[in-house]
Amino acid sequence: MSSTLADTAREPRSDATPAATRSRGEVLLTLVRRELWEHRALWIAPLCVAGLLALGTALGRVHIDLDDAERLGSSPYALLTIVQFVLAIPLYAVALCVGSYYLLDCLYAERKDRSILFWKSLPVSDGLTVGAKLLVGLVILPFGVFALALVAQPVYTAILETRVAVGRLPGILNWSAGEWLRTEAVMFLVTLFGVLWWAPIAAYLMLVSAWVRRAPILWATLPFVLGPLLEWVAFGTRYLLGFINYRVNGIWDILGVEHANIVTKHGLHPVGTALEVLDFRGALTAIDLWLGLAATAALVYAAIRIRRYRDDT
Amino acid sequence: MTAVIEAHGLTKSYGATRALDGVTFSVEPGRIVGLIGPNGAGKTTALKAILGLTPFSGELRVLGRDPRTERDALMREVCFIADVAVLPRWMRVTQALDFVAGVHPRFDRAIAEDFLKKTDIRMSSRVRELSKGMVTQLHLALVLAIDARLLVLDEPTLGLDLLYRRNFYDTLLNDYFDKERTILLTTHQVEEVENLFTDVIFINHGRVALCAAVEDLSSRYQQLTLATEQAAHARELQPFYEREIFGRVAMYFEGRTAAELGAFGELRTPSIADLFVAKMQGTGSR
């Protein structure tokens, strides 16, 4: 009989004694793994591009004008570092694409497939969940791509050296561990400042992802199109467009990229020379960088608050 | 004994609609409580309030905690299965185990694996490759392995065939329920699980229509089946609901004794399903 169920219920289990706690680090690591399980494009796409680049260096045609070859004389290691730098660009480009899509999708997808009810049935705070997603989009992906480039570039160099050895290419790539490391240092610092500068854009994408009920791509881009358009129609000014342009490209001005003359008509210079030219100290103390980080904190906080009472509806 | 859930004056509106309108009830430990109501009655809103998934006004303590401010701590001791399978479709079975093991301090992976061995679910399968019944089994495996004090189930067997439904509830009773655990369950299939309940809460139009232990229902409610010609006399005792069955009349009374009603016809305690219909459609409903 139903009325006797409670009376006949078993005594509580006493043998099952799982670990009493999970540290925040343990939980965060699990949350990050879960993001990489779900959004496999985050690591598959850069790996595919790295593979294609390896194929390209092995089979691609290399065309060097005599004029260029003469200019190589200005620095024996310049071409090595430029090849190293240029081959990393496609990896960063694909990371930018998959990363932007990921940030815009990560808090929306869990409501779309209703899995938010499962995630929320577990003892994980909204802060930690949103934090893990931001960590993946803003730290693990860009620095993961940096690490991938770090590993891939010696492979590309080895492939090119092999082609030189079998006489298919002129021997113009001179290996220098020091120059190679200096180029990596430039790439690391540019990655770091790129992440810090674009953090508010990443947080904005997450906020849209947490907020909208449908069409996150549309809602994310609409303000950037309509805002400047309306301003121009109403006032004939372009302040908003200028501001958006500044928040996207301003870091290059702050770093003084225009002074880093790697390729000039007088010759090629190693990428590592940018270490002396780029104003990293100035960028670190730029008020706009820190204002952007403050805006990031505010936007992330808003995304956490919005997710707090979001369900599958 | 401290109540597992204590709700007082829970109110929640969606625009002009009051989903919860001063809901008050309490749930003791070691009980299996059926939260029963028609569509749109406020059942799911009440569950979401208990789980800290929606803001509300009024007082609510779940395991002594306020779900609005202490949700994360609360979810260490509360498990939840939503109305349909909400496990992420991209996830593999092993990933589901890894994930819950990685975030839940009270999860015992061996229990979940032992349960899954008894099913046809392969560890390498993705959720999207499983049938709906299997997804529910997987979710149940995860929940059984969590040493929680309160299990909230919102239409957990909706869309499953009879075998899966029966297995689901048998497993809950045999492998999960004990004297310190409480199960709060909403379902449309009341007839199928009414023998499971120790307590029922009827909810309609956001209000509690009945909150009682099943063992108390027999002393509170009577169903009188009598010939049509006797009905007029019996009606004087103010049944709150009546209906015709094969040329006879079934009347439902609250607070009447067998001595008052026995002379009119056949007397029995109404089933929970009958009582639910009577309460929802009778004079006490809106």
Chain B residue numbers touching A113 (CB-CB < 8 A): 88-89
pLDDT in tens, A138-168: 999 999 999 999 999 888 888 888 887 777 6
pLDDT in tens, B47-102: 999 999 999 999 999 999 999 999 988 998 999 988 666 899 999 999 999 999 99
Q: Does B65 touch chain A (CB under 8 A)?
A: no
**CA separation for the pair B226, B200 (Å, rounded):** 27
Between A6 and A228, the higher pLDDT residue: A228
* Chain A residues within 8 angstroms (CB to CB) of chain B: 1-3, 5-6, 9-13, 16, 18-22, 26-27, 29-31, 33-34, 37-38, 110, 113-118, 120-125, 309, 311-312
Kindly tell me if the per-residue pLDDT of A2 is higher than 60. no
Distant-in-sequence, close-in-space partners of B248: CB < 8 Å, separation ≥ 6 = B225, B226, B227, B228, B265
Residue B279: per-residue pLDDT:
86
Residue B262: per-residue pLDDT:
81
Read off the amino acid at residue B24: T
pLDDT in tens, A181-233: 898 999 999 999 999 999 999 999 999 999 999 899 999 999 999 999 999 99
Closest Cβ–Cβ partner in A11, A16, A124 for B179: A11
Q: How far is B232 from chain A (nearest CA, A)?
A: 34
Taking residue A31's Cβ as centre, other Cβ atoms within 10 Å add up to: 22
- ipTM at complex level: 0.87
Residue A169: per-residue pLDDT:
63
Instruction: Residue window 152-191, chain B: list those with CB within 8 Å of chain A.
Output: 173, 177-181
Structure tokens at A179: 């120059």
Kindly tell me if the per-residue pLDDT of A283 is higher than 70. yes
Residue A11: per-residue pLDDT:
61
Q: Does B102 touch chain A (CB under 8 A)?
A: yes
pLDDT band at B208 (very low <50, low <70, confident <90, very high): very high
Residue A16: per-residue pLDDT:
46
Average pLDDT, chain A: 86
Average pLDDT, chain B: 89
Residue A19: per-residue pLDDT:
47
**CA separation for the pair B249, B226 (Å, rounded):** 5
- The residue-averaged pLDDT of B181-195 equals 86
Sign of CA dihedral A263, A264, A269, A271: negative
Q: Does B105 touch chain A (CB under 8 A)?
A: yes
Chain B residue numbers touching A122 (CB-CB < 8 A): 75, 100, 103-104
Residue A1: per-residue pLDDT:
38
Residue A74: per-residue pLDDT:
60
* B79:A3 CB<8 A: no
CA angle B117, A11, A118 (to 5 degrees): 50
Structure tokens at B260: 């008052």
Chain A residue numbers touching B86 (CB-CB < 8 A): 114-118, 312
Kindly tell me if the per-residue pLDDT of A8 is higher than 60. no
| Helix, strand, coil tally for chain B in percent (to 5) | 35, 30, 35
Residue A18: per-residue pLDDT:
46
* A2:B196 CB<8 A: yes
Structure tokens at B211: 């909150």
DSSP characters over A61-104: -----HHHHHHGGG-TTHHHHHHHHHHHHHHHHHHHHHHHHHHH
Q: How far is A115 from chain B (nearest CA, A)?
A: 5
Residue keyed to tokens 């009188």: B224
Kindly tell me if the per-residue pLDDT of A23 is higher than 90. no
Alpha-carbon distance values, A141 to A41, A97, A148, B52 (Å) = 11, 11, 10, 33
Weakest mean pLDDT among A63-67, A205-209, A251-255, B118-122: A63-67
pLDDT band at B286 (very low <50, low <70, confident <90, very high): very low
Class of domain B5-205: alpha beta
Taking residue A154's Cβ as centre, other Cβ atoms within 10 Å add up to: 14
pLDDT in tens, A239-250: 999 999 999 999
- The residue-averaged pLDDT of B112-116 equals 93
* A6:B31 CB<8 A: yes
Structure tokens at B87: 């496990």
Kindly tell me if the per-residue pLDDT of B267 is higher than 50. yes
Mutation choice for A interface testing from B4, B50, B53, B170 by most A CBs within 10 A: B53
- The residue-averaged pLDDT of B201-205 equals 91
Residue closest to B76 by CA, chosen among B63, B88, B93: B63
Residue B1: per-residue pLDDT:
59
Chain A residue numbers touching B155 (CB-CB < 8 A): none
pLDDT in tens, B220-266: 899 999 888 888 888 888 899 988 888 899 999 988 888 888 888 88
